[in-house]
A and B are shown apart, each in its own frame.
Chain A
Amino acid sequence: MKAIGIILAGGNSERLKSLCKVRAIAAMPVASSYRAIDFALSNMSNSSINKVAVITQYNSRSLQDHLSSAKWWDLDRKEGGLYIFTPFLSSDNNFWFRGVADSIYQNISFLQRSHEPYVVIASGEAVYKMDYQKLLDYHIEKGADITIVTKNADEAGKDPHDYGVVTYDEDMKLTGFEEKPIEPKGNDISLGIYVISRPLLIKLLENAIPKGYYDFVKDIILRNKNHLNIYGYRFDGYWNTLNSVEAYMQTNMDFLKPEILAELKSEPYITTKPSDDPPAKLNSTAEVKNSIIGTGTIIDGSVSNSVLFRKVTVSEGATVNNSIIMKSSYIGKGCVIENAIIDKEAVISDGKQVIGSADDPIVITKGQVI
């Protein structure tokens, strides 16, 4: 094995409103069957990276159940396998993770004790299918010190002002990197996925953290960009990150598009902890159009342009349009649900209406009864 993996799953976002109050972003349910972190984890194992650390901090409990066994990603290995790192107290450290670089540094023994030459660092909060092995081959071929994965902002449907903007020369060698620039010089945004050699990462961390530099982009990449060979790698596949209610809605709705659904359904598969629900059941009055339906869901009403998770009930006469309904939520008789995100275990009583606007979906909190 040429590389070990680090998945960054520590974050939360104000912009996810109540969705993120009860879970880390990496634990956000996606496309009916999955949680966000399934994508990075499956990408790792599908790329033959068999030693993977997940670094968590914010509401790490929301990930614990999901990661309680690593076998769903073939990471229940005797050699390597899955490591979960949360902040802890010890005689010489009593800090929370003070930044991404610090979160890796606090677990530096994971790097020191490995013997694989490279490290793939990936975000656990993005939804995408990527062959890290190809990325690794590219990194080696370029003779790069660090490779940064980027994507065209228009293609990704993102505003470059909100992301790290990368510029490079015709050989893909980095010429500039600006975090959330006021005047972006390019249109390629960083996806927060990096390859770096393991000894170099250890060295850079050891030079930064004791001096109080805790951020990965600013203190590890930008600080060293003039004396390191940094290359960009353009990713063409589907990618979205779950950093706001709008992005969350968009990501789920994207799976209703045939080409994106086909990408998700193609091999190698994204895998997840199985849930053992029976098949979805559509009764005689059900009407379902352009929607994804999770297992164990029972439908008597009508559902269109929506993503329904597992064990949802849509009662007779209810209509659900352009909405996301999470696990075990109940939609009563005659309800109207439109442009809504209904978090799990919510109950919408008979005849109630939950209607948001197309550009500002209404969010119903986990367990809320209406």
Chain B
Amino acid sequence: MQKKEMMAMLLAGGQGSRLGILTMDKAKPAVAFGGKYRIIDFPMSNCVNSGVDTVGVLTQYQPLTLNQHIGIGVPWDLDTRNGGVSILAPHQTEGEKGEWYSGTANAIYQNIDYIDANKPEYVLILSGDHIYKMDYAAMLKFHKQNNCDVTIAVLEVTMEEASRFGIMNADENDKIYEFEEKPANPKSNLASMGIYIFTWSKLREALIEDNKIHADSDFGKHIIPSMLNKGMTLYAYRFKDYWKDVGTIESYWAANMELIRTLPEFNLYEDFWKIYTNSNLQPPMYAGANSEIKTSIVSEGCQVDGKVVHSVLSKNVTIEEGAVIKDSIVMEGCHIGKNVVLDRCIIDQNTVIGDNVVVGAGDNVPNEAKPAIYNTGITVIGSNTTVPDGIEIGKNCVIYGKTTADNYTDSKLPSGQNVVILEEAI
């Protein structure tokens, strides 16, 4: 293979359990965002926009949606003879049983051969969890200018927030002398974004060495501290633009809702840094004669005959007459029946909501099974789910599966309660 100056390894195997039912059947990077996109589109598009044309995507948890989405990389022009995108799943190895990816660094360790084949000088490590636009080429320039072994992208957070992050303590030139994971008393506000550029020879050595010590080799816990201890050169690269972690139901909902503002902080409408996604084989969106759509973004293929306010509609969503969608996110292929009311809820892909259903009624009672995940009033209805006609659903509820009237008492699901129907594995 032709030599690459820098290639990317995108860690996309995580579940993202705080996204609850949304990651029941797909990995977090495959969760839809901003109407037509999926979270992984942002780092993938950043790669191609930065001139990185060799991307390994490491999958593990529920990879089907991700595999279908990425395919051979056509939407990102990564269907190239040289480089391009490769999906890297855990695999068996000679003499051993093979193993799962047990840590972020372990996943890279298990794919050293793939990286070696591309003969890169530098390797960019990314996660598929964040919404941002970033020029990795500028970061590489910084890496080379400072003769770094490792460059870590950092965000300046408030000191209060700092104890939730991995914090880089750095000198006046941003040279890192210490790394602290979620410090109780942070000394700095430079939070790691989980984006690293490594000089490959140095990383390769560190991975092999660390694998002998830790079975669950991790960048933040093991690799970065050990490189620091050895006196290698690590720099913090300050990133000052929009960057959002969409790891919780509330932050996911809020980040989507930011996009519907008249002038959103995160601009998807600029031509010079497009975000690419697997789409556009859909017909245009149609607003019916009695529709009313305000302060919303609506993707291709949608057919709206009801009212949509402060909401995000993904591709091929049908909203029937009389329905009122407010402060909600409705994902690809959903069908919302007549006179439905959706208030502050998230409906995952290919779900059917029957006529006269009301979602988001009642008081803000935290979810009884998972109060830590569902507690801000947002009800989440999973993918490929059916809600029969006339059901009234409260806040912080979770519904998943082909539910029927029998699954509800008096056609109601009070706030904080769940109906989850898991089909037997075939």
- In the bound complex, do residue A278 and residue B300 qualify as a contact, i.e. CB atoms below 8 Å apart? no
A31 contacts B283, CB within 8 Å? yes
A269 to chain B, nearest CB (A): 6
**Cα separation A286 to B310 with both chains bound (whole Å):** 12
Contact check, B281 vs A282: say whether CB atoms are below 8 A apart: no
A32 to B286, CA, bound (A): 10
Q: Contacts A278-B36, A282-B294 given: A298-B269 contact, CB under 8 Å?
A: yes
| Distance in angstroms between the alpha carbons of A285 and B309 in the assembled complex | 11
Kindly state whether residue B65 has any CB partner on chain A within 8 Å. Answer: no
Q: How many residues of A contact B (CB 8 A)?
A: 37
B49: min CB distance to chain A, Å: 11
A296 lies within 8 A of chain B by Cβ: yes
Q: How far is it, in angstroms, between the C-alpha of A33 and the C-alpha of B301 when the chains are bound?
A: 10
Is B188 in the interface zone, CB < 8 Å from A? Answer: no
Q: A residues within 8 A CB of B313?
A: 279
Give the shortest distance, in Å, between A24 (CB) and chain B (any CB): 22
Given contacts A33-B300, A278-B269, contact A290 B284 (CB under 8 A): no
A172 to B291, CA, bound (A): 46
Cβ-defined contact, A31 with B284, below 8 A: yes
Q: What does DSSP make chain B's interface, helix, strand, loop or mixed?
A: loop
CA–CA, A31 and B370, complex, Å: 46
Can you name the residue of chain A whose Cβ is closest to the Cβ of B295? A284
- Nearest Cβ distance between residue B89 and chain A, in whole angstroms? 25
| B272-300 interface (Cβ within 8 A of A) | 274-277, 279-300
Q: CA of A323 to CA of B142 in the docked complex: distance in angstroms?
A: 51
B74 within 8 A of A: yes
Count contacts on B: residues with CB < 8 A to the other chain.
Answer: 39
Query: How far in angstroms is the closest Cβ of chain B from A333?
Result: 14
A270 to B283, CA, bound (A): 8
Label chain A's interface by main secondary structure.
loop
- In the complex the two chains form, is B281's CB within 8 Å of A269's CB? yes
Residue A292 lies at the interface, judged by CB distance under 8 Å to chain B:
yes
Structural contact, B300 and A295, CB atoms closer than 8 A: yes
Nearest residue (CB) in A for B300 is A295
Chain A's nearest CB lies how many Å from the CB of B320?
Answer: 12
- State the B residues within 8 Å of A (CB): 34-36, 74-75, 260, 262, 268-269, 274-277, 279-301, 303, 312-313
Which residues of A approach B to under 8 Å, CB–CB? 31-33, 71-72, 255-256, 261, 264-265, 269-272, 274-276, 278-296, 298
**21 cross-chain CB contacts under 8 A:** A33-B283, A72-B281, A255-B284, A255-B286, A261-B283, A261-B303, A272-B281, A276-B276, A278-B36, A278-B268, A278-B297, A279-B34, A279-B297, A279-B298, A281-B269, A281-B298, A285-B294, A289-B291, A291-B287, A293-B287, A295-B300
Closest 3 A-B residue pairs measured CB to CB? Answer: A274-B280, A32-B284, A279-B35
